[in-house]
A and B are shown apart, each in its own frame.
Chain A
Amino acid sequence: MKKINNLYVIDDDKIYHFLFKNLLKQNKIDVNTTFFPNGYEAIEFIKNNRDSENLPELILLDVNIPIMNGWQFLEEYVKDRETLKRRSTIYMISSSNNEVDIKKSRDYQEIVKDYFLKPVCKEDLEKIFII
């Protein structure tokens, strides 16, 4: 198991932020988590810190988020990926059970590891963190 130091969660649901933190805590996963309410703020932050050691090993990305949605974030991320100091593993975590979304995540096979439906549970966390 590789140690994950930094985690970004991109999701506009404030309640989910709180619940997710609690889920990590209860499962005794110790990771430095940063929350972004939309794709735009996340990609700006990543671009501005492209040389940083603290870029995350893992990104959990929602699909339906404002301003720049999950897919738009991925488009931008793919463009910049090569120039980043650290390349992240990305999981999509969404409440959308729309076939279109689930299929679309497979287009990003290279960087999107899997697509999880909310609610996230203990078993999901185990899959995500035991890389």
Chain B
Amino acid sequence: MKFFESGDTREGAKLKVFYKKLLDQVPDVIFKMVWLKDDLYSITYASENVNDLYELTVEQILKDSDILFRERILPEDKEETIESLQHSKNTLTQWSIEYRVQLPVKGLRWLKVIAKPELQKEGTVHFYGRVTDITEQKNREEELNRSQQRYKFALQAASEGVWDWDMVSNIVHFSAQTMKMLGFEEKEADVPQSFWLDRIHPDDVTIREAAKHKGLRKSNTAYESIYRVRTEDGSYRWMLSRGKAVDFDDNGVATRSMGIHKDVTLLKEKEIELANTINIIGDQNNRLSNFAHIVSHNLRSHASNLSMVLNLIKEADEDEKEEMMHHLEAISDGLSITISHLKELVEIQFEVKTERQKLNLRYYLKNILTILHHEITKHGVTIEINIPLDVTVSYNPAYLESVLLNFTTNAIKYSNPKNKPMIVYDFELINGQKVLSISDNGLGIDLKKHRNSLFGMYKTFHKHQNARGIGLFITKNQVEAMGGKIEVSSEVNKGTTFKIYFNEEDQ
């Protein structure tokens, strides 16, 4: 590619004044370029705008077209420009190229050339074309690119996915990040809305619907809800979904909404853990308050009796002294019993005896009933056991014995004199948790009055000599130390049913 000075500067002059005026007004540069057979080229016409686009005069270009390649086009873009020009000339296809020029005044600019080659008779090729300054457009493109990259990176860093829901066609666009959260390839996708809905945890459907319903109203700014979504490996992740309706039809009904997804599983799990911890602390607090109660009431009552005896004994006569000595013994016994209860309670709290074994429930129950054989025959109690032979629970043996013993002796102790006593042991699974129900037809407990204090320490509700009010309290603590719970239902003069839930992990 070599420049030759065609000397034919009349191309411009040949133009009618009318056309020349028009061409000079176009913001683009209009040009004609001639190629001779021997790879010789020359620009034979350029409109006035070269002043603006190249900061060269028309004359400079016509006399020395090479100046464009020498002093204007950036060296980096030169080779590609020439190559595409040659290609276009050889194949006679449209020449279209974007390149950068370095101008003395305006500095770096982007130019775009579009030209059409035309083969002439003697083998020469004429290009007719125009050059446009596309710097502004290029800058905008660049800016858009940058902001898109920034946005993409920000989403990645924040591990947030974006969704865009066309509510008319019910197709949702999910960003790559959302697809990745669901366990798919990190690639954006357009899917029917059911793709997402089918993955929502059944327990969370309502809460999400409610939030969405509220959020899609025109007056609302945004909606937000947190729910579980099933991923490809079948596990659930907690998602924070925030969204906003952006388009509405004439009736104000949302037609398009957009928002983000954020995987908040770690946060949510911590939150749940914290809530559990708070429950445990609450329980501990209750036990502590019960403990304080025992100390306050029972130890104090022994201590005050002791102090009264000591005060009175000084002034008492011989017979009374003798009797007071007996009472001193009784106070001492009472104190020992209270202290042993305290010790038992402390042991449960500090989980001294929590090692577990796989225990056959029926076998343990039979053992307890053998121990209580005398009591059972004395009261003529009918026993009915509906526990499958092979049911086992992972429990502490001493606790299991104590729990069975306590509920059984209670059922016998508070039997209704009007009925023939009967105790029924039923086994069932409730939500996968093993549950033993112990039902009697005894006196029953007025739960309206006593529900809150039923399992408290030293609470008794019956006019009964042996009522001490310690059994249920200890039993409840043992069951809870094993990770389970107790439920009670009762009706006065009809009977009582205690449900013992064994620990949840034990499935």
Q: Does A26 have its Cβ within 8 Å of any Cβ on chain B? A: yes
Choose, from A1-9, A10-18, A78-86, A103-111, the stretch at the interface: A10-18
- Which of A19, A64, A121 gathers the greatest number of chain B CB atoms within 10 Å? A19
Does the CB pair A64–B297 fall under 8 Å?
yes
Q: Mark A25-47, 1 if CB is under 8 A from B, else 0.
A: 01000000000001011000000
Does the CB pair B308–A119 fall under 8 Å?
yes
Does the CB pair B309–A19 fall under 8 Å?
yes
Across the interface, A66 reaches (CB within 8 A) one of B297, B315, B449, B461, namely B461
Interface members, chain A 59-112 (any B CB < 8 Å)? 64, 66-67, 72, 95-98
Q: Does B301 have its Cβ within 8 Å of any Cβ on chain A? A: yes
Given known pairs A15-B305, A19-B305, A98-B293, the reply for A67 and B461 (CB within 8 Å) is yes
Q: Does B325 have its Cβ within 8 Å of any Cβ on chain A? A: no
Bound Cα distance A62, B311 (Å)? 21
Given known pairs A66-B467, A67-B462, the reply for A95 and B300 (CB within 8 Å) is yes
> Which chain B residue has the least Cβ–Cβ distance from A65?
B460
Q: Does B304 have its Cβ within 8 Å of any Cβ on chain A? A: yes
Tally of chain B residues near chain A (CB < 8 A): 31
A25 to chain B, nearest CB (A): 9
Q: Does B59 have its Cβ within 8 Å of any Cβ on chain A? A: no
Q: Mark B278-309, 1 if CB is under 8 A from A, else 0.
A: 00000000000000010011001101110111
Bound Cα distance A38, B464 (Å)? 11
> Which chain A residue has the least Cβ–Cβ distance from B459?
A66
Across the interface, B312 reaches (CB within 8 A) one of A22, A95, A117, namely A22
- Chain B contacts of A97 at CB under 8 A? 296, 300
- Chain A contacts of B316 at CB under 8 A? 22, 26
Interface members, chain B 431-462 (any A CB < 8 Å)? 449, 458-462
Does the CB pair A118–B301 fall under 8 Å?
yes
Tally of chain A residues near chain B (CB < 8 A): 24
Given known pairs A64-B458, A66-B460, A98-B293, the reply for A19 and B312 (CB within 8 Å) is yes
Q: Does B331 have its Cβ within 8 Å of any Cβ on chain A? A: yes
Given known pairs A23-B312, A119-B307, A120-B308, the reply for A15 and B331 (CB within 8 Å) is yes
A128 to chain B, nearest CB (A): 15
Task: Give the interface SS of chain A, mostly helix, strand, loop or mixed.
Answer: loop
Q: Does B330 have its Cβ within 8 Å of any Cβ on chain A? A: yes
Bound Cα distance A95, B338 (Å)? 15
Bound Cα distance A23, B312 (Å)? 7
Q: Does B469 have its Cβ within 8 Å of any Cβ on chain A? A: yes
- Chain A contacts of B308 at CB under 8 A? 16, 19, 23, 118-120
> Which chain A residue has the least Cβ–Cβ distance from B307?
A119
- Chain B contacts of A15 at CB under 8 A? 305, 327, 330-331, 334
> Which chain B residue has the least Cβ–Cβ distance from A122?
B311
Task: Give the interface SS of chain B, mostly helix, strand, loop or mixed.
Answer: helix
Total contacts A to B, CB within 8 angstroms? 69
Bound Cα distance A40, B296 (Å)? 24
Bound Cα distance A13, B459 (Å)? 14
Given known pairs A19-B308, A19-B312, the reply for A95 and B461 (CB within 8 Å) is no
- Chain A contacts of B320 at CB under 8 A? 22
> Which chain B residue has the least Cβ–Cβ distance from A41?
B463
A22 to chain B, nearest CB (A): 5
> Which chain A residue has the least Cβ–Cβ distance from B300?
A95
- Which of A13, A41, A66, A118 gathers the greatest number of chain B CB atoms within 10 Å? A66
> Which chain A residue has the least Cβ–Cβ distance from B449?
A72
- Chain A contacts of B467 at CB under 8 A? 66
Does the CB pair B296–A119 fall under 8 Å?
no
Interface members, chain B 60-119 (any A CB < 8 Å)? none
- Chain B contacts of A72 at CB under 8 A? 449
Does the CB pair A19–B458 fall under 8 Å?
no
Q: Does B487 have its Cβ within 8 Å of any Cβ on chain A? A: no
Bound Cα distance A72, B446 (Å)? 14
Given known pairs A18-B323, A23-B308, A118-B301, the reply for A98 and B296 (CB within 8 Å) is yes
> Which chain B residue has the least Cβ–Cβ distance from A26?
B315
Bound Cα distance A96, B334 (Å)? 17
A17 to chain B, nearest CB (A): 10
- Chain B contacts of A16 at CB under 8 A? 301, 305, 308
- Chain A contacts of B300 at CB under 8 A? 95-97, 118
A64 to chain B, nearest CB (A): 5
Does the CB pair A18–B315 fall under 8 Å?
no
- Which of A18, A26, A38 gathers the greatest number of chain B CB atoms within 10 Å? A18
Across the interface, A119 reaches (CB within 8 A) one of B304, B323, B330, namely B304
B462 to chain A, nearest CB (A): 7
B289 to chain A, nearest CB (A): 10
A112 to chain B, nearest CB (A): 19
Interface members, chain B 313-341 (any A CB < 8 Å)? 315-316, 320, 323-324, 327, 330-331, 334
Across the interface, A19 reaches (CB within 8 A) one of B327, B459, B460, namely B327
Chain B positions near chain A (C-beta within 8 angstroms): 293, 296-297, 300-301, 303-305, 307-309, 311-312, 315-316, 320, 323-324, 327, 330-331, 334, 449, 458-463, 467, 469
What are 13 residue pairs bridging A and B, where the CB atoms are less than 8 Å apart in the complex? A13-B305, A15-B327, A15-B330, A16-B301, A18-B327, A26-B315, A38-B463, A64-B458, A66-B460, A67-B463, A98-B293, A118-B304, A119-B305
User: Which 4 residue pairs spanning A and B have beta carbons closest together?
Assistant: A119-B304, A118-B304, A95-B300, A66-B460
Taking A22-B316, A72-B449, A97-B300 as known contacts, 10 extra A-B pairs with beta carbons closer than 8 A to each other, sorted by chain A number, are A15-B327, A19-B312, A64-B297, A67-B460, A67-B461, A95-B297, A98-B293, A119-B303, A119-B305, A121-B311
